[in-house]
Structure 1
């Protein structure tokens, strides 16, 4: 296989594999136990397959995130793209990566944890991000050849040692994983929100191939499919391995995957376990943050071509640093409403775009109707989450699947079918010709 495709696949893996992706699977395995395989299958559908399909769709559309939104309306496409890059960029994704790297990666390493140490850590973290993101043609080498292999080797060493010498045996499932393991796994993967990140990362991977001289659209899409598949397979293997680590951890009292992985790191690596786990977390956050800064800078330069890429890298690195000093709790309060608003819409647009690849006629209403309805339902969900207006809360809670934050799903399916029927009949409607008199 082409060396470029392999390295690009490793780079894409490193973009997706942030700290959240590291700690979700162990907790799932810890809770699901004997139902781990079923639950992880559901997790893989929404946490791996959907982001992979997103990468393919964006490459096929050949215009980035904005081109997908333009199918609804050009103004909507621009606003939608800006919201995507704000949510996964300066307002949330970039500063969150730095905060998680600090909170988890240095938790058992630094002797003191306070606001001053957060500022110093963030300063060093974003300096590294800035220096690597500064040269987009070298990112594929810096991440694909060096940082990602180091990350994979350390994680693989941890998982293999735990599998060889498990702390306990797999027991009975508890909680939601005992009753609905597949659905619970699907929802867990859904809540990673990796599809939103995929909308940005796919643009980066496409740009990397173009910088490497792959300009033919058909070849470009094929290369993206192959590199995306490498990334997806790596994620699948590591997610299942991490889930197995959680499932074979019999020690009680863990509330999240961080504690499970820290415990096992110390168990199999001894006194250096905390250091190795810290390195895993910091590397995972660092590679994700580099990808986000690169994606945001490339998009901003497209909208404001008079400002150079390097200046935008500096701007987003500085913004990330400044916002990261606010602390993780405040960052989440800022970003959650925005993510709640755009995430279902992102999924809807990706799924409709995927359908459009196989439809022989132009789709218009099939884009517009489901997207508008999903936006309305997302707004209702925000009212529900923040308990703002009781009549709207009641309306949202009356929707099917609203209890599991999927109130948009059934209306989306219905309106997609309705939109396809309308588009089909409009396509086949005879055109009236007028004759000059």
Structure 2
């Protein structure tokens, strides 16, 4: 059991740790400087804690993503699940990770970058993904035993040398990190959107324990929690190490974390640094894509099992390959409105589901009311951000909501409507008990 928990924890870490997670912390540390520790504490709240909670919630209900939205309405739950797997799966998450692997992982290694080299790289990349995801009973071993240790070794080599050979001391913080480092770190972790990824592939972890012969629900939940703690601990160590690398890198006008890590790889290891950093990025993206293909295929097979799991893996791998060839810019432009719509809704449903675990009665309005207000605010945000409908009145209403300029306009209404919903549900339960007593 402990061995399986260890492997599952390593796998969970590698599924969370995509290319975006690799490049966010260095830039945060670079800009936060002396306030890096405070900012990174905020980052862990949304970048580690929320995804960890999501894994536990999915394991507890053991019905996949569709259960999260089912209390609102069964059809809503199914549509929500389909949108989650579309966005984080073959239509966005998989091709995004593959494109990042290509653009960053081969940036300084290939003499030419064009559509032909992208296609050749993608063919090789997705063949590996396909083979790794093909057998769901071995996916935990494939990732947890093989890919994750390689990924950790690469990150450790870079981090240890950079920590012991820093280029400069932590410098004064810049911009938003000067005044509100904790809140700015929270928002930075929020924009990793790892919670949506956790909704998609948490079932992979749960199924890993089932394939190992564990059938008792409480044992599965407890094992998932232990694997999640291991994964979260590793993420925290890696995130803080990468942030420290960024914080101790001299100010030279870096555009993002990729530039910072590439520079430090070259500074510490010379030309070998390019190969090291490229390997880290490709492995990070490879593990993420493998987990997402597996999760999408598992979901599709649960909904319609007349098609084999192998065919679903083939379909999602092929669709991911196709969208990868469109290029990163096209993928991001197509998917951004969908993610803006889905991410706040996902957080709301996960948090209400967590509350429902500890409440002694079934919730209804505590789901419905927050979902309605969150959907409304998300639609207004999309209209405002993308300049749709030319509606000044909608934009004015949206901007009047607290925290809307930070992309968190849903937060305060969610808290208020959840409390109202809990009150209504509690009163409904009390009235039902009184009616039952009277009928006796």
Q: Give the distance between the partners of 1:280 and 1:91, measured in 2 at CA.
A: 24
TM-score, normalised via structure 1 length = 0.98
In structure 1, what is the equivalent of residue 232 of structure 2? 232
Q: Give the distance between the partners of 1:313 and 1:385, measured in 2 at CA.
A: 35
In structure 1, what is the equivalent of residue 382 of structure 2? 382
Deviation at 1:186, TM superposition (A): 0.1
In structure 1, what is the equivalent of residue 339 of structure 2? 339
In structure 1, what is the equivalent of residue 394 of structure 2? 392
- Could you report, residue by residue, the CA deviation over 1:55-108 in whole angstroms, capped at 9, with x for unpaired residues? 001101111110111011100000000000000011100000110000111001
Give the aligned length: 436
Q: Give the distance between the partners of 1:279 and 1:47, measured in 2 at CA.
A: 23
Q: Specify the SS of the correspondent of 1:361.
A: coil
Summarize the alignment of residues 407-422 of structure 1 with structure 2, pairs less than 5 Å apart.
Answer: 407-422=409-424
1:425 counterpart (424, 427, 430): 427
- C-alpha RMSD of matched pairs (Å): 1.2
Alpha carbons 1:25, 1:239 under 8 Å: kept: yes
In structure 1, what is the equivalent of residue 138 of structure 2? 138
In structure 2, what is the equivalent of residue 406 of structure 1? 408
Q: Which segments of 5 or more consecutive residues in structure 2 lack a partner in the other structure?
A: none
In structure 1, what is the equivalent of residue 330 of structure 2? 330
In structure 2, what is the equivalent of residue 112 of structure 1? 112
Q: Give the distance between the partners of 2:246 and 2:438, measured in 1 at CA.
A: 71
In structure 2, what is the equivalent of residue 214 of structure 1? 214
In structure 1, what is the equivalent of residue 178 of structure 2? 178
Deviation at 1:390, TM superposition (A): 2.2
- Could you report, residue by residue, the CA deviation over 1:244-272 in whole angstroms, capped at 9, with x for unpaired residues? 00000014111100010001011111111
- Could you report, residue by residue, the CA deviation over 1:143-174 in whole angstroms, capped at 9, with x for unpaired residues? 11111001101101110001111111111001
**More off after superposition, 133-142 vs 232-241:** 133-142
Q: Give the distance between the partners of 1:251 and 1:407, measured in 2 at CA.
A: 33
In structure 1, what is the equivalent of residue 22 of structure 2? 22
Q: Give the distance between the partners of 2:288 and 2:383, measured in 1 at CA.
A: 31
Do structure 1's residue 242 and structure 2's residue 242 form an aligned pair? Answer: yes
Q: Give the distance between the partners of 2:292 and 2:418, measured in 1 at CA.
A: 31
Q: Which segments of 5 or more consecutive residues in structure 1 lack a partner in the other structure?
A: none
Q: Give the distance between the partners of 1:229 and 1:381, measured in 2 at CA.
A: 34
Q: Give the distance between the partners of 1:396 and 1:90, measured in 2 at CA.
A: 32
Q: Give the distance between the partners of 2:348 and 2:258, measured in 1 at CA.
A: 32
**More off after superposition, 7-16 vs 384-393:** 384-393
- Could you report, residue by residue, the CA deviation over 1:307-355 in whole angstroms, capped at 9, with x for unpaired residues? 0000000000000011000000000111101101110000000000111
Deviation at 1:434, TM superposition (A): 9.2
Q: Give the distance between the partners of 1:361 and 1:75, measured in 2 at CA.
A: 22
Q: Give the distance between the partners of 2:404 and 2:417, measured in 1 at CA.
A: 17
Alpha carbons 1:91, 1:334 under 8 Å: kept: no
